[in-house]
Structure 1
Amino acid sequence: MNTFCFGLLLTLGGLFCSEPTQKAKKPLVVFVCGDHEYSGEETLPIVAAELEKNYGMRTIVLKSSPDHNSEENIPGLEALKDADLAVFYLRWRRLPADQLAHIDAYLKSGKPVMGFRTTTHAFNFPAGHPSAKWNAFGEFALNTPPGWGGKAKHTHYGHSSSTDVSIVPAEAANPILTGVSKDWHVRSWLYHVVPDYPVKGSTTLLTGKAVNPERMAVENPVAWTGTNSFGGKIFMTTLGHPEDFRVESFQRLVINAIHDELGLKVPKKWKGKMDIQVPYRVAK
């Protein structure tokens, strides 16, 4: 047998005898929850369970401890080291430096970030505090205003109001909007972020108009994508009232956005509406 034939047999033998290719590792989504008002630590675990059951993902849900009003402790943030996507639903936390370091390392990795509603004002350190820069988390991580109020006049149009949501026509074919209705309604009172936010270069997917506002209102973006200051891909929505999670278009938006953030194809087939019956809490 000549050398060529012998080599060919070795090659073919290797092909037939090689171990089956390992299945791709399931992506890990880490949810970081802690808000006084919107029950994110109850809605997001339902979303996490859906991702594991029907969409082939692994999830970890981290919560403020001992309860949602605990502003200075979210155990387990070291899990962010292995996360493929970090999803934040925070409001006015004051985490210790060692816990912030895990979030900082994740952001600096350039991995994707997703945020809900009050994450625009995720942290609330007093002026002069060594960690006060984190008060602008919304801006440097998610392209939102840098905290509540301030020069950006980030505010809302009153708790008695609600919001009509519409797809931005130019983004109608965006995969994140697959199965999302052109026009729909949510309980969230509209957040004011214009004219300077989301930051330049972001892409607005959905806009909202206040229904029965308590003061003069203008149309505002309510969901956008973009790249944050660390080069990470972002998806942010200022919606997130627990009643919003009962709306199928909002559920589809969330599932679609998570897939897109992970670089996965948005599911062509909707796995069905989630049963999310979580109460709203009056803000602390």
Structure 2
Amino acid sequence: MKKIIYLVAIAALFACKEQKKEDVAQEPVVDTPKQWLVFEGNSLNSKHIVLVSGDEEYRSEEALPQLAKILSKHHGFKCTVLFAQNPDTPGIVDANYVKNIPGLEALDVADMMVLFTRFRALPDKQMQHFENYLKAGKPLIAIRTATHAFNFKEDDTTNFAHYSNGYSGDKTEWTDGFGRLVLGEKWDSHHGHHKHQSTRGVMAETAISHSIANGITSGSIWGATDVYGVRLPLPGDSEPIILGQVINRAGEFDENDLFFGMKPTDTELATENNTGLKVNDVLMPIAWTKSYQIPGGTKGKAFTSTIGAASDMLNESVRRLLVNGVFWAMELPVPENANVGLIGTYKPSAYGFKTEAYWIEKQLKISDLETIEN
């Protein structure tokens, strides 16, 4: 009798376990959306590069994953790519949402930062990671709109208003904000006619032998993004590497074309832009080096390139310029002719502002930007 009771109890126990398994199997599986990307290096000791995207216009959310893939697959760096996101829709890129970039704590252990943001107004907890990184004097590459990476409004509650583009407050050492103090320039102007005149990069005479210029032929850099204006001379020990010629369009304007009707084969030097400004009499630097030191911090190295939008990245020399800058900033030997071949299928979008409705409809998942193809 006891044996029968025992066997019945065992059977009941197994039945209970099977029911629990069935209940678990029937519960919906909720995947945690990926909020940033990590591309591993070639060893446990690989240098760690954190690439921070977040601009409304030049598709940094497309450019930086491709750059990260190149740096990881061709050069063995560990790369983490961060994105602007609305907290209500984590894992979905929302370049127009200026108050949130998850994952910035990665900067605390980073060896290198690549920054491509525009007018961000991040919470203090996130801004503190930038502050700590810069105080440590770690190397930095800034792309295009990173000259105006941050911007807080007067009614924003923040301890980092001095990072704002054009800052003019009591912290006089921060006059004109992060861009001017750290990189050498803030947002100044469109020197070329936006969407109508392209940029061709030529070597600065003093930089022909600079390691950042390795493998780059003068004139081989081209992008449909126009030359940015800067105030000359650039401050401190800034050293121009590439100068930007303003190039007229040979064909017609085409709003639906990736390059708006401009082509890499365009060669005519512009005499003036749409405002009548003489644009090629004195060429603006579009890539330069500079040391930086924020108050209370250690001295560091910065490299700025105002060319580098997602569509600019189709140009091999633009990619090589950025890769060379990474090696230079980290004080690593710069390859003579770095491998900058595109990874996988890369079909960037044309630059231009998008509405909030666009981002809601697009639903660009960060996980969709991860795939590496041979």
Give me the TM-score of the superposition, normalised by structure 1.
0.84
Instruction: Please show how residues 39-118 of structure 1 align to structure 2 within 5 Å.
Output: 39-66=59-86, 67-118=94-145
2:223 and 2:315 in contact (8 A); partners too? yes
Answering whether residue 309 of structure 2 is matched by residue 241 of structure 1, we say yes
Instruction: Please show how residues 157-168 of structure 1 align to structure 2 within 5 Å.
Output: 157-159=192-194, 160-168=196-204
Q: How far apart are residue 171 of structure 1 and its match?
A: 1.0
* Long gaps (5+) in structure 2: 1-42, 87-93, 165-176, 249-272, 355-374
- The partner residue of 2:300 within 232, 240, 246 is 232
Cα 1:271–1:283 shift into 2, 3 Å: same
Instruction: Please show how residues 69-218 of structure 1 align to structure 2 within 5 Å.
Output: 69-127=96-154, 129=156, 130=158, 131-135=160-164, 136-145=177-186, 148=187, 153-159=188-194, 160-184=196-220, 185-196=222-233, 198-212=234-248, 213-215=273-275, 216=277, 217=279, 218=282
Structure 1: which 4+ aligned runs deviate by more than 6 Å?
A: none
Structure 1: distance between partners of 2:110 and 2:348 = 26
- Counterpart in 2 of 1:16? none
Deviations 1:78-107 (A, max 9, x none): 100100001100011110011000110000
What SS does structure 2 have at the residue aligned with 1:86? strand
CA RMSD of aligned residues (A): 1.8
Q: Which amino acid in the other structure matches residue 103 of structure 1? A: F
- Counterpart in 1 of 2:270? none
2:56 and 2:353 in contact (8 A); partners too? yes
Structure 1: distance between partners of 2:288 and 2:353 = 25
2:309 and 2:351 in contact (8 A); partners too? no
Cα 1:272–1:195 shift into 2, 3 Å: closer
Answering whether residue 59 of structure 2 is matched by residue 32 of structure 1, we say no
Structure 2: distance between partners of 1:60 and 1:120 = 21
Structure 2: distance between partners of 1:200 and 1:154 = 21
Q: How far apart are residue 270 of structure 1 and its match?
A: 3.2
Structure 2: distance between partners of 1:120 and 1:274 = 26
1:48 and 1:59 in contact (8 A); partners too? yes
Q: How far apart are residue 25 of structure 1 and its match?
A: 1.5
Q: How far apart are residue 24 of structure 1 and its match?
A: 7.8
- How many residue pairs get matched? 255
Query: What fraction of aligned residue pairs are identical, expressed as a percent?
Result: 33
Structure 1: distance between partners of 2:147 and 2:352 = 18
Structure 2: distance between partners of 1:282 and 1:39 = 8
1:113 and 1:142 in contact (8 A); partners too? no
Structure 1: distance between partners of 2:326 and 2:111 = 10
What SS does structure 2 have at the residue aligned with 1:138? helix
What SS does structure 2 have at the residue aligned with 1:48? helix
Quick check: which has more Rg, 1 or 2?
2
What SS does structure 2 have at the residue aligned with 1:266? coil
- The partner residue of 2:287 within 204, 212, 223 is 223
Structure 1: distance between partners of 2:232 and 2:131 = 28
Structure 2: distance between partners of 1:264 and 1:211 = 34
Structure 1: distance between partners of 2:348 and 2:300 = 31
